[in-house]
Each structure stands twice: as structure tokens, then as C-alpha cells.
Structure 1
């Protein structure tokens, strides 16, 4: 049997556990991304020596090209975790024009582990989990809100611990069919384990059977039965969460235990209304976002202190604003009011920080603090794939496209089947001018769902940059059909006609958009887009100025978007970037 030595390094209040890949402060885990931990481990192992930036990047990203900004971001996150700054470094010294040196006093101790045992343990360790929608024992008595809701609550609790990747509710909704094979679902989602359950509601009683299954060897890791009064659903959910955590051998700190079983209300009716609020948000249609707001409003009318309902109503208003369904001022102002209320009641809500980050990015253009909000969301819930996706979009907006690609791929690791995140990978590659990779990514996304209009719009813009005009127009027409929009007022189609040289058709779309703008809300950027395609810069800047005044979310991408390339030499373009605050 081979023996391999690993080490534990102690300095100040901190301990770097190389065996378990953990940074501890006074015995409590400090959240760190894997690359940030690797950076710290390299620095500690080479303490006292200046490690050149090139050497450090080669060790961290061998065979992968990344920008120096990625390393700077890792160092920033480390300093934040260690409670220091670049101006007052206690442990990590910046050596100008060279690299970094770890200057803290380190105590090193050896932990011997058998190499073959390490490999065996590693194979059995569960690092990712999917909690499937619970199923009714009697199909005719199903309650979809309850089935999805229990799964949703367990996902929130388990992901908040931060020790295991838990697929988000958006990833598991598609597996609600009672005939779904749980192990097949687990393999498709690329997880190590799945949690499945069945429900029978009989009068005031709720009977639940739960199994935790290993996807790798198809064995049952743990199983149990629960029988509670329906009014005691909170006790039921707490019991399942704690037993699953124990079965997964998760080491719960006191803070982790509180997050696992945290309750925001003792009122079962409020909880049911909140489950409907979240359920409809995830349906991802304008009508469902309005319904989400209705159920959230009912929940807070019964319990004005229910922070999650405020947060998810804020998410609905934010999404309505992002997609231009409601004017940005109305949508984002209401979203911020609601999310600030949520955070005043509970500052540990990951989703609330995520929504606040989206508001700062897409409406307020507060680029100085977007990252703080989104990083806080990720710190509170490392399985928050949407926050990671938004952070990648922020990096894209400020021109750090290589770092954005790296970040969005981390979001994809958390939620590999997400249509939105898969599409955003394609969009970011498009913004990075990596058109062939963008096309391949978007085609893979459409293999997941050929009717996903957002991906077809993205693919059409890639084709336009490659001057594949017929293919682009075909993709837009499909997207228009699948999204239920009107081709006559499709700005994307108008732009495609314009750059393809079909100016008369482009002007027809333009005319329809301008007519609609006199009677209702039309995103001014959409009109500017068609004028850009027609190479009419004066009208393009007129409508871009209007988009700036009305806070169109597309304005944040002016620096990165290839569509704007014809405008870059015009002084008005630089002035617009300056006003938005883009570097």
C-alpha cells in the first residue's frame, strides 16, 4: 500500500487543510473558489519566495490561456477572505512588476494518507446532488406546488451549507413526471447522487418516503419514512434535510445547521403561497412572472416579515425589466424597493443579493459595486448558478471577456442543463469575437431544446458576423415563431435585413417599431439597432441617447457588442461609454 503525505499549514487564525481542500478560520470553513484556494496553497508552500506572475499562472492554468486579470481576481478574493487589503497586507505581499510572496509565519504539520485509500475515498465522495421533484403515490391526488415546493426547500437548505454542489430548482423541474427514472435523471444532470421522494396526503396527514441514491453504483445510500401533520411541514422538511446531510457525511458548523433548517415563517399558508410565488417565477413567461408577484403579495399580506417573498417578487419585476416587458424605470425601481426590504429582514438571502446585483448591472450601471453584490450571493450559496452567470455578464460588459468565459463555465458546472446559462456561454463567446466557438456552443444548446428562442436569436447574431445572412434570417424567423412575437416588429429581423442589404424590408420593420413606440413601451435600443444596420449613425445615436435616458439594459453591452463596431470611431460613441461609466 502506497503512502502519500499531505500537509496542514497554520498561520494566525487560519489553517490551510490541503487534505480536504479547505481554508479554516478558528475551525470554521471560509468560502473560497477552487482556483483561489489553489493560489493560496501555492503561495503558502513557497512562503518567503517571490513567485513570478507567469509562474503562478502556469501552475494554476496549465495549457489554458487566461488574462492576468484572472490572477488578480484570485488574489483579491484571497485578501478578502484573509481580512487584508493590498495596502495593508498581513500575509500576501505584492512585489511590483514581479509577482507575490507569502510573508506570514507558517506552522506546518504532516498528515500521512495511503494513496490507494485516498483514491478509493475520492471515488466514493459525493460532491454533487440533485433533489428531484417529489412524486405523488396516487397520481389523481397530485399537488404539483407541494411536490416541487418540498424539493425547492431542500435545495435551498442543502446548497446553503456550501459543502456540496446542489443542482438548482430550474434544473430539476423537467423531471416532475412520475414515471421518470431517478438514476437516469442523475446521469443526465451529471451528479453523484439523487434524492427522490414520494408523497401521500391523507386528510391532515402527510406521508413521505425518501431515498438517497448513488448514481455511480445505483445503490441506496439512505432511506426513511416520515408521517406528520400537514401543519408540521416545516418539521418534516427540517428532519429530511438533517438526515440527508448526515447521510452525505457533511460536517455542519453551527452556522451551517442554522442555514440548513432556517425558517422564515411558522405559517403554513404563507409557506404555500411562497412556494407558488417561486414556482411561477421559474415558469419563465411574462404571465408567470405576474402570477409570481400576485402570490408573493398574498404571502406578505399574511406575514409582512416574510423576506423570501419580497426577494422573489423583486426577481419577477427585475426580469420583466430586463426583457423590456415593463419599462425599466417602473420595473427596476419596484424591484429594488422589494429586494431592499428582503435584505433588511434577512441579509443572508443569496437570491436577494443576486437580484440587487442584476439591478446594479442592468439599470443603475453601478459598476463599482455590482461585483460585491454578486460575490456575496455566491458566498452565501456557492450553488447559485444565476449569480455566477450574472457575474460573467458583468465581466463581459466591462470588456474582460476571457475572464467572463471562465466564470460562466463555472456557472455551467453548477447547472449544466440550464438553457439560459448555456445560451449565455454562447453570447459571451460572441462578444469575445470567438464566433465559431459561439456557434458550436449555441448549436449544442439547441440540441437540449430546439424551441428555445433566446438561443436562436444569439445564433443569428453569430451568423450575421460571419455574413451568413440567409442562415441568420432563418434563425430569427424560427425564434420569432417560437417566442410568439410578431415578425413585423422584430428589431433583430430588421437589423438582419439591413446588414444583408435588404434595406426596404429593414425600413418596414423600423416604421412598425417607431409606430408602436408612440402608443406603448418599445426599447429604444431596438430601434437604434436597425439604424446601426442601415449605417444611419445620426439616427442610431439619437435612439441610443434615448436608450441611455430610459436605462435600456442593452446599453451596458455597448463596449463589448460587435454590433457597435461601425460606431466606434465616432466621438459620440466614446462619450456614450463615458456617460454609462464603462471603462
Structure 2
């Protein structure tokens, strides 16, 4: 029977009914006996093509061209789609009732369509009146509303930008900072952009789009979480490289809790489908159950269980990826190289070890996470000498160590690792990302930007690349450019805690302490189990003089996982409140965890000077250790203004006034981190007896945003009557130790 005239006038939106089947083109649904049947988009399009020309033979080439366009389609794609339709229609291919196959020619719809003219006429509006029911419009595409970012970044914590949401290691010194006007413009622009984002209607999802949810570990061993998470990340990165397929950025575990409501998650992420999977690893066996769900209807488009040997993990990943691409695009583009993307190594052991290293970078829950990651990547290279991604992982981890621990050796190691990775696989996105991190850490912004731009072209690395470029621009004083890159990163991953932390760190460097605190509070909301974020938030509270809030934040971080920065800041609090013995214990623990960090040695020295049980020889040796490490660091990072100011203070304590003065002036000439430099130089000049110069620096420190509580807690300033008004009479110059300094956190970035 011909399709009714009513349906034609409605643009083909009227439902088709035959037997107990109802096909609604507008709602994109197929009901059998009133029960929804899952049908992938391409299969639904083929069914509509047959229904629009009932009884006619439609050639295979015509169907392929109509549904898949002019893309090359792999053999059997149409056969698979017809098989799916027969299953949904409950039809026996040997005795078809609806779809007839004409071998080597094509297909035709042979069912009896019901005449819906009467129903359509009953619903038609009376002339001059209103329709009793509005015509159901085509389904609006789901949209995603990006959560507005809040301020972000640490003081003392650190968060690496390895990929999805990994916190970075603590780094307190960072070269350069924004110019004042540039930074203010950037912060104002970011705030305005966030406000606008609250009111921007969510974008419609692309039809061929998917979000890969974190794979669920069903092995019963929490230690296997890295394997399931790593498989999901590898799958996402591989699919992101398929032309014509939009892939959402990594979905956080918190966001994926909405997976039970596919429609809500689709709206939130702006995708038409979601891929979920469970992973069970038992001995040498691997069982993965994967499911692709349509977010418009909540129906399953495709699902399959793979029960194979563990050595078949690469083939399993490739099979899942190809099924997803087939379901959403109907064909695999010739340049997708899916299998290659999912088989960077053919060694299952090397792959497993590599995933362990990546987990340590994404979630550095242990103080020696960088060292452990380097060890895992090194083991993976022993298992496969050509594994370039593992070599790039070493480069990134060593760059992280250099920034967080101020270890010159780490920078040399990073250079060597990146050089080898580039030789193994030049142009690989992971290698370009590692090179961007290396050159940014080494103070070569142009080369860093060059590699970040290349890395940003690969969807799997785009977030980290944009964050890396933002940090480079911010360090150069290009506020507007930095803002644009941060915005790009947040658009891709609006709920990534590490991005908020990175922005907050820049706010901290610019002296916008309240904004930095707000940013880190947002970061811990997004990732409440992250010890680094809590430790950094506590460090920010220390800087702000809010000891009541700092103590619980730092203690919470230590309860999750003790880290050197967290311990040294808690030691600072003990020092402020007169518990010098307790401060010494905490600072000793911190130097044990991070022996290369000169600032922690300095804090230990300050605590020892205040503790009456300490011996003068030990005090001097501690400051000599801090000075030696600071000097070695400045040889490879000569533009670090705060490090120069720190070394100047150590020289004043050790009795070298000429060198102390020279370093103080050098730090000011470098122009970076003016608030911290002014505070440190004020103390240096005070110890040298030049109180006028000390007062000038204190005025500069206040103007740059150093809280009055922090200045008032400095024993040297109180003792010498430098506070206004003075809060305490002092002892003779040089007899009371200067106050220790909290660590400003810094994330290593992308």
C-alpha cells in the first residue's frame, strides 16, 4: 500500500504501522507489540529508506549511497544492518514477512502498511480553529551545558596534567608571571566567560558522537582499577582519531555515575551515544562486556561479551572500537588506523606495565608517584624496547620531578628520555606532548608552544596541550592568549579538577589569593579523594594566614597520603603556634620524602633555630644544604626569581652579606612572583640590618597581596619593630630566626 498523503505532507514524520510494528521517524523509535526495540542509527535509516518505497527493489549500491554517503564501506556492513533489522522485527530470514532479499541485487519492503489517513484526518485542525494536539517535532539533539569553572590552582600541592585528571606534583617556584594588567585582564575575562557560560544554551550533539565511560573493574581486586581505567583511556584516544566521529573528553568517575540514565548523561556530555564496559581479569583470562547505548532513547545499539586469553587484549580492544565505529558511521574511514592506535606495543606485559605507570601519573596518591611511574615505564621498555609511549612517559614524569622537586638531575633525565622517544616515533602526539612539557619546564617557550600545537591536533592530547599552552602564555605575560587556552581546555573537560587547579595556580602567582583558594575548593569538590589538592588548599590557607582552615585541610591530605609539601606546611603551622619540636619532626619527614627541595631544607633550618634543643652545628649544616641545592637549581633555572630570593636569605643567615644583597637585587630584577620575592627580600635586608630597605620591601609585599597575618607572624619583623604598629619588642639583630616559608604548589601540566 502507498504511504498516505498525510504522511507525505507532514514531511515523512507520520509513523509507519505494519503488523504489530510501529516505526516513528520523528521519535526515531521502533516498537514491536508496544515494546521498544534497540536499532542503531544506520539500521534505522535503511529501514526508513525501504518503507518510503514499499514494494520496490532498492539496489545495494543505492542503499549504501543513501545511508552512508560516498564513504567507502567495508564488505558486509549492509548485510549486518539487515540482520539487525530482522532481529528487531522478529522475522525469519528464510520466510520473510517484511524485508525481502534479492540476492546480488538489493532489498525491498514487502509488508502491508496500514492506512493512517483516517487518523490523520481526525487530528487535522478545523478550518479557522486550532489543532487539538500539536504535531510532534523531530527530536531535538541533546545538548551539553559546560559547568562554569571556578577558580583553581594550588599553593603547595601539585598536579600533573598527564591526561585526564591527575594532580600534579608540588612545585613552588615557577619562572615568570603575568604582567599585572595582563593578569587582571585574564582573570576578569575568565570570570566574564564563566558567567556567560551559565546562560549559553547547550549545543546539540553530533549524530556520530560517543562518550567512553570509565570501564568498571569486576575482578574483585581494587589493585586492578588501573587496568580497567587504562583500557578506557586507550579506547577513547583511539576513537578520537577516527575522522567523522566526535568523542567526548575523558568522563570522570563522578560524572559516569549518571550512566544509568543514558538520556541525562547524553544531554550533559553532548553526545548521541555512550560506550560502557566491564572488565574481569582472572589469571590468564580476560572477559570484557561492552555496550553502546543510544542517549536519545536509552536503547542498546550494540553489546557483546569477549572471553579470551589475556594476550588477546589488543585484538579485543580493536574489535570493540571497530564495532563502535561501524554502529555510528557505518564504515571505518580508510585513514582511521584504529588497530595501530590500540597496539602501540604487541607485548601484553609491556602494555600492562605502561598502564600502571600512567595510573601513577593520573593519580599521584603516593609521595614517590613520579619515581614509581618512571620505574614502571622503564620496565615496559625492557619488555618492548620500541615502546615509544613508555619512553615519552619517562620524559613527562622526569619533567614533573624537576618542577616539583627542583632536581637538576631530573631535567637532564627528561631531556634524554624525550630525545629517545622522538627517535622512536617522531610526530607521535604523546611524544609532542612530552616535548612541550620538557621545553616549558626548561624555559624555552617557543619550542614548547611548537610541540603543544602539534599535540593539540590529536583529540586524545588536546586538553593537556591547551593547558600547557595556557601556562606558557601566562608565564610570558600574555593574559588574553592564556585565557583563550584555558577556555578551550574547560570546554573539552569542564569538570576536570586539574584544570581548575592550574588556573588557580596562575591566580596564586598573580597574588590573587582569594581566587586561588576558591579555585582549589572547587577542585577538591570535583576530586575529594585527591591528597595533592587538599594539601595545596591547606597551603593556600597557610599563605592567607587562615590557620583554622589550614590545619584540617593539611591533616586530611596527610590522612589520605602524606606528601613533602603537605608535611612542610603543617610544620609551618606548628612553628607559628610555638610547637618548635613538632615542627622539626614534620620538616625532617618532608626532607626525607623530597631531599632535592631546598625550600623544605630551609623550613627545617628555621624550625631548628627556634627549637632550644637544636645544636648550632646542625642548624648551620641544614642551611648550607638548602643553599647548595638552591644554587644547583639556579644553574639550570636561572630565571626563577623566588629561588634567587630564597638563596639570598640563606646567604644572609650563613653570614655572607654581599652575596645576600646581590641575590636579593637579582631576584627583583627577574620580575617573577613579586609578592614572595618582596617578602623574602624584606627579611634578607632586615637580617643585614638595612631596615629602610626592609620596610620598602614590606610595603611592596603588602601591595602585591601578602596577607597581613603572614607578615605579622614573622618573628624577624616583629623583633625588629618593622610591623606597623610594632607588635613586639625585639632581641638584638640576628639572634632570632626568620620565619619559614610555605610552599607554593605548581602543577606540571599536560
Query: CA–CA distance in 2 between the matches of 1:507 and 1:399?
Result: 42
Structure showing the higher strand proportion among its residues:
1
C-alpha contact (below 8 Å) 2:248/2:269 kept by paired residues: no
Pick which of 505-514 and 151-160 moved more. 505-514
The normalised TM-score by structure 2 is 0.49
For the pair 1:236 / 2:316, whether they are aligned, the reply is: yes
Distance 1:148 1:182, change over 3 A: farther
> Does the residue aligned with 1:368 lie in a helix, a strand or coil?
helix
Q: Paired residue for 1:455?
A: 533
Deviation per CA, 1:321-340, whole angstroms, max 9, x where unpaired?
A: 3321xx62222222222222
Q: 2:404 aligns with which of 317, 320, 323?
A: 323
| Alignment correspondent of 2:598 | 524
1:306 is aligned, of 374, 380, 387, to: 387
Which secondary structure state, in structure 1, belongs to the residue aligned with residue 445 of structure 2? coil
2:211 to 109, 114, 129: 129
The match for 2:672 is 559
The corresponding residue for 2:231 is 150
Task: Please tell me whether the aligned partners of residues 438 and 462 of structure 1 are also in contact (alpha carbons under 8 angstroms).
Answer: yes
Query: Displacement, 1:207?
Result: 4.7
Conserved 8 A contact 2:563-2:590: no
Cα deviation, residue 191, structure 1: 5.6
State the alpha-carbon separation in 1 of the partners of residues 255 and 372 from structure 2: 23
Q: Which moved more, 1:288-297 or 1:554-563?
A: 554-563
**Residues 241-267 of structure 1: CA deviation (Å, up to 9, x unaligned):** 122123333986544335864532333
Specify whether residues 234 and 451 from structure 1 end up closer, same or farther in structure 2 by C-alpha distance, changes over 3 A only.
Answer: closer
| Correspondence 1:415 to 2:528 | no
Distance (whole Å) between structure 2 residues aligned to residue 434 and residue 545 of structure 1: 29
In structure 2, relative to structure 1, the CA distance for the partners of 1:318 and 1:191 (3 Å cut) is: farther
Query: What does residue range 190-205 of structure 1 map to in structure 2 within 5 Å?
Result: 190=269, 192=271, 193-199=273-279
Map 1:108-257; keep pairs closer than 5 Å. Answer: 122-123=204-205, 125=207, 127=209, 129-136=211-218, 139=220, 144=225, 146-161=227-242, 163-168=245-250, 172=252, 181=260, 183=262, 186=265, 190=269, 192=271, 193-199=273-279, 206-215=286-295, 217-226=297-306, 228-249=308-329, 254-257=334-337
Contact 2:214 2:228 in 1 (8 A): no
Q: Following superposition of structure 1 onto structure 2, how do residues 300-449 of structure 1 map, counting pairs within 5 Å?
A: 300-324=381-405, 328-362=407-441, 364-381=442-459, 383-449=461-527
Distance 1:185 1:484 in 2: 38
In structure 2, relative to structure 1, the CA distance for the partners of 1:394 and 1:437 (3 Å cut) is same
What are the superposed Cα offsets for residues 181-232 of structure 1, whole Å, 9 maximum, x if unpaired? 5849947984634311234668876553321124454332333444555433
Judge conservation of contact 1:191–1:215 (CA < 8 Å) in 2.
no
Q: Deviations over 1:2-26 (max 9, x none)?
A: 9xxxxxxxxxxxxxxxxxxxxxxxx
Q: Is the 8 A contact 1:311 1:339 kept in 2?
A: yes
Counterpart of 2:241 in 1: which secondary structure? helix
The question of whether the paired residues in 2 share the 8 Å contact of 1:133 and 1:172 is answered with: no
Instruction: Identify the residue that residue 152 of structure 2 maps to in structure 1.
Output: none
Q: TM-score, normalised by structure 1?
A: 0.61
Q: RMSD between aligned alpha carbons? A: 5.2
Give secondary structure in 1 for the equivalent of 2:436: helix
Contact 2:189 / 2:483 at 8 angstroms: preserved in 1?
A: no
Q: Are the aligned partners of 1:213 and 1:220 in contact in 2 as well (CA < 8 Å)?
A: yes
CA–CA distance in 2 between the matches of 1:521 and 1:141?
Answer: 31
Deviation for aligned residue 1:159:
2.7
Question: What's the CA shift string for 1:437-472, capped at 9, x where partnerless?
Answer: 433332222223445344345445655676656545
Change in CA separation of 1:255 and 1:566 when aligned onto 2, cut-off 3 Å? farther
1:269 alignment counterpart = 349
Q: What is the aligned partner in structure 1 of residue 46 from structure 2?
A: none
- The answer to whether the 8 Å contact 1:350/1:384 transfers is no
1:57-104 Cα offsets, whole Å, 9 max, x none, are xxxx9xx8489xxxxxxxxxxxxxxxxxxxxxxxxxxxxxxxxxxxxx
How far the C-alpha of 1:307 sits from its partner, in A, is 1.1
Secondary structure of the corresponding residue to residue 129 of structure 1: strand
SS at the partner of 1:264?
Answer: coil
Aligned length: 449
Where do 5+ consecutive residues of structure 2 fail to align? 1-9, 12-184, 192-200, 607-623, 644-670, 686-692, 698-750
More deviation, 245-254/235-244? 245-254
Other-structure match for 2:634? 548
With a CA cutoff of 8 Å and minimum separation of 6, indicate the structure with the bigger relative contact order. Answer: 2
